[in-house]
């Protein structure tokens, strides 16, 4: 439409040396974002509430050859974005092993159902 070129994962330039943090990386857009970044040699950290699901996701991504340099490029950060204390612990854990972050991709979504207030 309007002469715009479609964008695909192949359009992502090489990301060697770049560190990404993707929230909500165990499913949907977050998962695909992790896959595409790894295909382009990024170091990727992704957040997850459920560590078992996160580790299964990590193994699936690595097992399917999406991790350019192997599992050293893909890391899990335990974090529940609906819990401020969990966010602080996750951020502290993330910072402990790194000296920088190049890109933060806020992808994790949380929906709250509020009670009917009158």
> What gap in Å lies between CA 60 and CA 35, rounded to an integer?
10
Would you say the C-alpha torsion 86, 91, 59, 15 has a positive or negative sign?
A: positive
pLDDT value, residue 4: 74
pTM: 0.80
Only one residue has tokens 């715009």, namely 4
Model confidence pLDDT, tens digit, residues 4-55: 788 888 889 999 999 999 999 999 999 999 999 999 999 999 999 999 999 9
The domain made up of 16-105 has a fold known as Rossmann fold (3.40.50)
Distance CA(26)–CA(48), nearest Å, equals: 7
Alpha helices in 40-105 (DSSP H): 51-63, 84-96
């Amino acid at each position: 439409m309007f002469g715009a070129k479609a964008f695909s994962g192949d359009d992502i330039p090489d990301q060697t040396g770049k560190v990404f943090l993707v929230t909500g990386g165990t499913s949907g857009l977050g998962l695909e974002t992790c896959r595409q970044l790894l295909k382009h040699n990024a170091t990727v950290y992704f957040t997850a509430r459920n560590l078992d699901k996160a580790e299964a996701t990590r193994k699936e991504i690595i097992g399917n050859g999406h991790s350019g340099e192997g599992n050293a490029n893909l890391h899990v950060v335990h974090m529940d974005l609906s819990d401020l204390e969990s966010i602080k612990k996750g951020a502290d854990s993330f910072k402990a092993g790194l000296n920088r972050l190049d890109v933060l991709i806020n992808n994790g979504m949380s929906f709250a159902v509020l009670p009917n207030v009158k």
